[in-house]
Structure 1
Amino acid sequence: MSFTSFLKSTALATALSVVMVAPALAEPVLKSDIRVDSEIVTVSDMFDDAGPYAEEALFRAPAPGTAGEVSLEAIRIAANKIGLTQFDAAGSLNVRVARDGVLIGEDMINQAIAAHLRQAGSLPAGTHVDAELSESLKSTYAAPGADPLEIEQFRYLPGNSNFSVRFKLAGQTQPLNLNGRLFFTVDAPHLTHSLSAGSVIEPADIEMRPISVQLADAAGVPELQDLIGKQVTRQMREGILVRTADVDDPVIVARNDIITLFLRSGPMTLTVKGQALNDAGRGDSVSVLNLTSNRIVRGIAVDDGTVQVETPATAVAALQ
C-alpha cells in the first residue's frame, strides 16, 4: 500500500468514527415529569443534557400551585421553533409540568390588612386586627417570593366593621377579591389564679389575653407595667379581666393604725404619735388624730406607718 493510499484509508476510518460517535453526544433526553418555579419553561427544565439550548424558552408554565400535561407533539413544535430538531423522547407521550406556589391563607390575609392599616395610621401600636371573611377562602396560590400578595384596593370606614379588599397575586393574572368584617383586639391582663382582697399583684399573677377594643375602652384596662405592685381592692377569681378600678396603690397606712406623724421644718423634725382615720397608699392624703393634742390634722402617707403633715404653717400648732 502506498503512503497516499494509507492516508486516504486512515482519513476514511476517522470520518466514520466521528459519524458513529456524534449522534450519541447530540440528543437531549425528554423528562417525563418536571417542576418549575417561574412562569417560563426552558429547555433545561424539559430535557436532560440540554446542551446549548438550555436557557431557551419553550412555553409558559401553568399558574402557580397547579400542574398540567404537555403532549409530545406540542413539545416537538416548540423545540423546532428554537432549532432543536432532534431529541430522545424516552418513550414519553406527555410530560407533566407542575409549578411551585404559595398557598394563600387567612394568616397572610390578616398580615397584609394589618400592614396596610398600620401604614395608613389606622392601627395603633398594640392593637391587632382579624378579618372574618364573608365566604370561605378557596384554595388560591401565588408565585413564591418576598411579596406573594399585594393590596391594590382597600375599603374600610373606621367605626364600621365591614371591609372589601382586592389583592394582586404574584404570578396570577386574576385578582383576589374578598370582603367581610374586621375585629380589633388588644392584649389585656387576666388573673392566672384567684386573689383575695388586699393581695399585691406580681408578674406571675397575670397573663395577657386578647379582648375587643370596645370592651377594653369600656372597662378601662391598664397596661401590664401599671399593675405590678398594685393591690387588688376586692376578691377576684381566676381568669377574670383586671380593670383599672380593681386595683389601687398598696395601703401603707391603714385605718385605726397607730402611726408616726412628723413635720420637718429646716433642720428641725417634730414627731408625735397619731391614729390614722382612713386607709391611704403612698402619696395619698390621710386624716390623723394627734394622740397628744387630740386634734385632727391632714397629711400625706409617705412610708409604712408614716405620715408627713401637708401645711407646716398651720400644722405646727396642731402637733403640739
Structure 2
Amino acid sequence: MKLVLTFLMVLMAQSSWADTLVPVRTIRAKQIIYAEDLAYKSVEIAGAFSDPVDVVGQEARVSLYAGRPIRPGDIGPPAIVERNDLIMLRFRRGSLLILTEGRSLGRGSEGDIIRAMNLASRTTISGRISADGSIEVR
C-alpha cells in the first residue's frame, strides 16, 4: 500500500510540471543551435520554449548556459550579414532602381535594420536587410 501511495504521489508531482527545453552545454552568442544541444527539464518556466522546432536552427543572441531555460529574447534567426561585409545597397522609388556597393556597419538577419556605408560617396545610411543579403535603403 505504501509503495502504491508513493507511486501516485510521484505521478501527481510530475503531472504538474511541464517540459522545458534547456541546453546540454554552454552555447555562446552567435552560435547556431542544433537538436543535440537540447534536452528537456521537468520544470515550468513562464515564457520558456518547450518545442524544439521553435529553437533548432536559430542563433543564440546571448550565451545560453547548460540547464537554464531558453526564452524568446535569447534566440533569433541566423545573421546573413556580418559587420564589414561587402554588400549591395538598393534604392527603389517607382521604376527607378539605383544599385551600388556598400560595407555593412553591423550584423543582422533578414528584416533587421542596420547601418551601412556607401563606398562610392562614403555616406552612412540605414536600411533593411533583404533575404539575398542586400540592403534596401529608404
2:23 is matched with 191
2:75 is matched with 247
1:222 is matched with 49
Task: Give the conservation status (yes or no) of the 8 Å contact 2:80–2:133.
Answer: yes
The answer for unaligned runs of 5 or more in structure 1 is 1-64, 66-102, 111-129, 132-182, 312-320
1:177 is matched with none
Q: What amino acid does structure 2 have at the position aligned with 1:192?
A: V
Task: Give the conservation status (yes or no) of the 8 Å contact 1:258–1:305.
Answer: no
Question: Highest CA radius of gyration, 1 or 2?
Answer: 1
CA shift digits 1:245-275 (9 cap, x unpaired): 3223211122222211112345553211112
- Among residues 33, 38, 45, which one is paired with 1:206 in the alignment? 38
Task: Give the conservation status (yes or no) of the 8 Å contact 2:103–2:119.
Answer: yes
1:260 is matched with 88
RMSD of equivalent CA atoms: 2.9
2:60 is matched with 232
1:106 is matched with 8
1:284 is matched with 112
Cα–Cα, structure 1 residues 184 and 108, in superposed 2: closer, same or farther, change >3 Å? closer
Task: Give the conservation status (yes or no) of the 8 Å contact 1:287–1:296.
Answer: yes
Task: Give the conservation status (yes or no) of the 8 Å contact 1:257–1:305.
Answer: no
Identity %: 23
Task: Give the conservation status (yes or no) of the 8 Å contact 2:26–2:66.
Answer: yes
Q: Which has the higher strand share?
A: 1
CA shift digits 1:19-59 (9 cap, x unpaired): xxxxxxxxxxxxxxxxxxxxxxxxxxxxxxxxxxxxxxxxx
Q: What amino acid does structure 1 have at the position aligned with 2:8?
A: E
The answer for unaligned runs of 5 or more in structure 2 is none
How far, CA to CA, are the matches of 2:60 and 2:98 in structure 1? 34
Cα–Cα, structure 1 residues 200 and 273, in superposed 2: closer, same or farther, change >3 Å? same
Task: Give the conservation status (yes or no) of the 8 Å contact 1:253–1:304.
Answer: no
Q: Which has the higher helix share?
A: 1
Higher RCO by CA contacts (8 Å cutoff, separation 6 or greater):
2
How far, CA to CA, are the matches of 1:267 and 1:228 in structure 2? 40
CA shift digits 1:179-238 (9 cap, x unpaired): xxxx842211111333333111122322222113xxx12xx4134332222111244444
TM-score by length of 1: 0.36
Segment drifting more, 278-287 vs 194-203: 194-203
The SS at the match of 1:193 is coil
TM-score by length of 2: 0.76
CA shift digits 1:140-167 (9 cap, x unpaired): xxxxxxxxxxxxxxxxxxxxxxxxxxxx
Q: What amino acid does structure 1 have at the position aligned with 2:104?
A: A
